[in-house]
Amino acid sequence: MDSQLEAEAFKRIYPEEYFQRFLSEGTRPDGRPLGRARSTTIGFGAVSTADGSALVKIGSTTLLAGIKLEVMTPTAEAPDAGKIAATFEMPPLCSPDARPERRLEETSVVVQQVMNAIESAGLVNTKELLISTGKAAWVAYLDIYCLDADGSLLDAALLAAVAAFADLTLPPVRVNPEGHVLPVLSGAQGGNLRENGDASSEVVTVERRKLTLGAMPWAATIGLYKGHLIVDPTAEEEALLESTVTTILDEAGRLISLFKPGGITAVTTALIQDCVELTRHRARELKQILEESSQEDEDEGDESQ
Amino acid sequence: MLQSSGQGDGPSTSGSEQASSYVGQIVAPGDIVLDLTQAGKLVRIGGGLQQDGTSLVVTKAGRLRHTKPSKYWVEGSQRRYVPAVEDVVVGVVVERYAEHLVIDIGGPVTALLPALAFEGATRRNKPNLNIGDSVYARVTSTSRDTEPTLACHDASGRAAGFGPLAKGYLFQCSTGLARTLLSRPTCAVLEALGGGLSFELAVGMNGKVWVDAASAAITVLVANAIINSEFLSPTQAKIMVKSLLKQVQQP
Amino acid sequence: MSSQGSLRKDGRTFNQLRGMVCDRGLLHRADGSAKWSQDGTSVLVGVYGPKNMPPKREDPEKAVLEVLWKPKSGIQGPEEREAEIILRRTLEAVVLAPLFPRAGISVVVQVIHDDGSLLSCAINAACAALVDAGIPMTGLLASVTIALAKRDDGAGGGAHLQLDPTREEQDGAQATVCLALETTPKAATSNGSVEGEAVVTSTTRGAMAIEEYLEALDRCRMASRTINAFARLSLDKAQRRLELPGT
């Protein structure tokens, strides 16, 4: 009891010293070795009203991503493509630093970097979001909500976005000659899904389908502190770190993003190579988790039917 | 880590025998100008320099200056003043309390002037300064964590020219120009102005300059001449003052 | 480099920066300012401070740095907000903020024209403006953007890395890398590290191989020396102009 209290007091008064003593023993305050990420879970279809959604937890960092589809008229520059619009919200409940009147600065960075990673990796081919050339296309509103911000937000946000796209189903629709998009009535969902050619030849029906996803980007945030490389830092650790490097790789090992916003550590070529190596390992881990989770999701779906 | 912003009045560290090869050159932040392990003498550092381990590192751009035996500082021209002990400054009263006055000297934070820091001041008999009044004072302390303090007397308690500045006109120039105005021998523009006009002048290291003369026309002329002189050579300054004097004497 | 033969649209070689112009102390009301241009891309930065901060925002340990990014026209979008944050964190790496506790330093960035490599141009401008304002810093930064041209452009060999890309090159590129590097200072001692310039900030767009990133890093390192030399030259000129009456 007493020593517990003392450790707590020591942590409050000398947070750096407290952290350093752990690091010198090759471990971290939460018991992880420096190179290990927190346990990660993905839950598909967490929001029933969304067209695609996923709940991602990395340790206690919790993010909910949902995709809602709406019909838009394609732009003149790209008449054969839909688009993706992303938002990232950090409501006051996610962190003690968040306030309703003040946007946390992470908000802007995370949403930009998630979109950058999705575009750079070519995860979604926006041409697949087309309904009818020049007339109608889907706009996918990707909303990511942070429910608990406990560090490495970008990693979790990107994973949630990727999982939500994997979960996304484009609903069946009919397009009439004026280019208006009408939903297919649930009663007609049996055999009439193909083009109903005879009665009104101009009406085109687009079937329910999943997106064919391109290369999936996998992110790992690595904290730099006095020569140590700390994978997947918590919020507590992030407050003490000298700088962070977020590396994003795809399956083929291509570099999608290497994001280091300032920080006082002198980053050398060797250090960048170390970060890439650690991210490779984490990317394999994340890929496996996503595959296993989607397998479980399908199994459950089969059982319920 | 040692740091001081006074001109050569900084703390001392063990230092070198030979002067840095960068003396007189223009240096930029990050430049290492001196290896402190070279010798064991005292090195005094001023504004724009910092000790980092065994080397002397530049933090502000400017010309590296050196006086014997081993004072180093970087001379630049910044608009924003950073207070240093023993600097003379001109300030404006912004708040008034029973025990002290709050003075704006154009630095990162306002300065404190204790109500009794005047020659011969007592609790009953102290100068009455109001908000908006100008004072000519000396910086007595600067610390990272507290506001700088001022005093309107010298170290021995005499007024020595410090005190409230009644009437007059206050304007702002760069710290580089203020340093030129305060330098000895008297700079060309003041020499030329003093030859033709009579006026009172108080120059602060913080770039605030106070002028007072018999007529508003002369006050304005002096202020303009000083501001215009910043980028002129001594000869050009003399010609500029001459032409200004002609304008004022003609009508 | 090997790319001497094949020139870019504007006549530059693949490894050539655009012509740089730097004017210091343009703004009269600011404590320091600089306009940095890389041909068509031009950014004006004003620095105010160290100054008083409202008590709500002050930090008892160090000066608070704030960056305001004004786009060429219109209001701030999410991209500008991100640039603001990246720029602030980049500058925080070199500004000696602990010297001015409770104070604030404002860096106002006005984009004059964007013809590619905008963030790099803004970082270079902000660094010059901070030097002009006399804000104590641990060192200087130099920022370079590099574009990886698509391979089917016919630019074979090692020629597909385009230094300091224009807007057109940037938009057409397979990927771009923007780096801010710490520059190597003049040193009285020779015990400086043999490693290249350290990376302070890195942002990328588009996919590339790790080797391509590392090659881009090496090219940027070399280019950063040119930028540093230019920044010093312009500083020298500005300082001499200020000192004229004394000499």
Condensed to tens digits (0 to 9), the pLDDT of residues A149-183 reads: 999 999 999 999 999 999 999 988 888 877 778 87
Secondary structure of residue A301 in the 3-state scheme: helix
Q: Measured on CA atoms in the order B153, B154, B159, B162, is the torsion positive or negative? A: negative
Contacts of A260 in chain C (CB under 8 A): 199-203
Best C89, C177, C211 residue to mutate vs chain A (most A CBs within 10 Å)? C89
- C196 min Cα distance to partner chain A (Å): 7
Contacts of C244 in chain B (CB under 8 A): 231-233
**Among A1-15, A189-203, A270-284, the least confident range:** A189-203
What pLDDT sits at residue A178?
Answer: 74
Chains near A, with 3+ CB pairs < 8 A?
A: C
Render pLDDT for C147-176 as a digit per residue (tens, 0 to 9): 998 765 554 444 489 999 999 999 999 999
pLDDT surpassing 60 at residue A292: yes
A73, A84, A168, A155: which is closest to A119 by C-alpha? A84
What pLDDT sits at residue A90?
Answer: 92
Contacts of A232 (CB under 8 A, 6+ apart): A36, A37, A38, A58, A59, A151, A152, A155, A220, A221, A282
B29·C99 Cβ contact <8 A: no
pLDDT surpassing 90 at residue B93: yes
Chains near B, with 3+ CB pairs < 8 A?
A: C
What pLDDT sits at residue B3?
Answer: 37
Nearest CB partner across the interface for B26, out of C185, C235, C246? C235
The whole-number average pLDDT for the span B102-131 is: 90
Which sequence spans correspond to the domains of chain C? Answer: 2-243
**Among A108-122, A230-244, B33-47, B72-86, the least confident range:** B33-47
C86·A261 Cβ contact <8 A: yes
What pLDDT sits at residue A291?
Answer: 92
pLDDT surpassing 50 at residue B4: no
What pLDDT sits at residue B125?
Answer: 86
Task: Determine what percent of chain B is predicted with pLDDT higher than 70.
Answer: 91
Nearest CB partner across the interface for B31, out of C132, C185, C239? C185
Residue range A30-171+208-304 forms a domain whose CATH class is alpha beta
Nearest CB partner across the interface for C207, out of A121, A265, A276? A121
pLDDT surpassing 50 at residue A195: no
* Gap between the Cα atoms of A154 and A139, Å rounded: 23
Chains B and A touch (3+ CB pairs under 8 A): no
The whole-number average pLDDT for the span A122-126 is: 93
What pLDDT sits at residue B43?
Answer: 84
Nearest CB partner across the interface for C51, out of B55, B108, B233? B108
pLDDT surpassing 70 at residue B6: no
Contacts of C102 in chain B (CB under 8 A): 109
What pLDDT sits at residue B251?
Answer: 53
Nearest CA in chain B to C63: B108
Chains C and B touch (3+ CB pairs under 8 A): yes
What pLDDT sits at residue C204?
Answer: 95
Contacts of A113 in chain C (CB under 8 A): 82
A8 membership: H or E segment, kind and range: helix A2-13
Domain made up of B88-166: CATH architecture: Beta Barrel (2.40)
B79·C242 Cβ contact <8 A: no
What pLDDT sits at residue A272?
Answer: 93
Could you give the residue range(s) of every CATH 2.40.50.140 domain in chain B? 88-166
pLDDT tier for residue B9 given thresholds of 50, 70 and 90: very low
Which sequence spans correspond to the domains of chain A? Answer: 30-171+208-304, 175-207
Looking at residue A249, its amino acid is L
Nearest CB partner across the interface for C133, out of B26, B57, B80? B80
C82·A112 Cβ contact <8 A: yes
pLDDT surpassing 60 at residue B107: yes
pLDDT surpassing 50 at residue B12: no
Contact by Cβ (8 Å): B74, B27: yes
Alpha-carbon distances, residue A114 vs A92, A121, A245, A248, B69 (angstroms): 21, 11, 15, 10, 59
Nearest CB partner across the interface for A109, out of C85, C175, C199? C85
Fold of C2-243: Ribosomal Protein S5; domain 2 (3.30.230)
Q: Does A238 contact C at CB distance below 8 Å?
A: no
Using DSSP bridges, classify how beta strands B41-45 and B71-75 pair: parallel, antiparallel or unpaired.
Answer: parallel
pLDDT tier for residue B2 given thresholds of 50, 70 and 90: very low
Q: Does B109 contact C at CB distance below 8 Å?
A: yes
The whole-number average pLDDT for the span A111-126 is: 94
C244·B28 Cβ contact <8 A: no
Burial of B200 (0-12, 13-18, 19+ CB in 10 A): middle
Residue A33 DSSP code: B
The whole-number average pLDDT for the span B216-238 is: 90
pLDDT tier for residue A304 given thresholds of 50, 70 and 90: low
What pLDDT sits at residue C187?
Answer: 67
- C41 min Cα distance to partner chain A (Å): 22
pLDDT surpassing 60 at residue B191: yes
The structure's pTM equals 0.88
- C244 min Cα distance to partner chain A (Å): 37
Best C26, C52, C186 residue to mutate vs chain B (most B CBs within 10 Å)? C186
Q: Does A179 contact C at CB distance below 8 Å?
A: no
Nearest CB partner across the interface for B63, out of C99, C188, C239? C239
* Residue A269: both structure tokens together: 């070529």
Task: Determine what percent of chain A is predicted with pLDDT higher than 70.
Answer: 91
- A254 min Cα distance to partner chain C (Å): 5
What pLDDT sits at residue A182?
Answer: 80
Cis before C50 (ω within 30):
yes
pLDDT (tens place) for every residue of chain C, 247 residues total: 444 456 788 889 888 999 999 999 899 889 999 999 999 999 999 999 888 888 888 888 899 999 999 999 999 888 999 999 999 999 999 999 998 988 999 999 999 999 999 999 999 999 999 999 999 999 999 999 999 987 655 544 444 899 999 999 999 999 999 999 998 777 655 444 446 788 999 999 999 999 999 999 999 999 999 999 999 999 998 888 776 554 4
What pLDDT sits at residue A132?
Answer: 85
B28·C140 Cβ contact <8 A: yes
Residue range B14-75 forms a domain whose CATH class is mainly beta
Number of H helices, E strands in chain A: 6, 15
Contact by Cβ (8 Å): A136, A73: yes
Reported ipTM = 0.89
Nearest CB partner across the interface for A259, out of C90, C203, C217? C203
The whole-number average pLDDT for the span A179-193 is: 60
Contact by Cβ (8 Å): B16, B38: yes
Could you give the residue range(s) of every CATH 2.40.50.100 domain in chain B? 14-75
Nearest CA in chain C to B58: C138
Contacts of B109 in chain C (CB under 8 A): 52, 102-103
Domain made up of B170-249: CATH architecture: 2-Layer Sandwich (3.30)
pLDDT tier for residue B18 given thresholds of 50, 70 and 90: low
Q: Does B78 contact C at CB distance below 8 Å?
A: yes
Nearest CB partner across the interface for B30, out of C63, C139, C242? C139
Nearest CA in chain C to B229: C245
What pLDDT sits at residue C151?
Answer: 67
- C207 min Cα distance to partner chain A (Å): 5
- Count Cβ atoms below 10 Å from residue A8 Cβ, excluding itself: 11
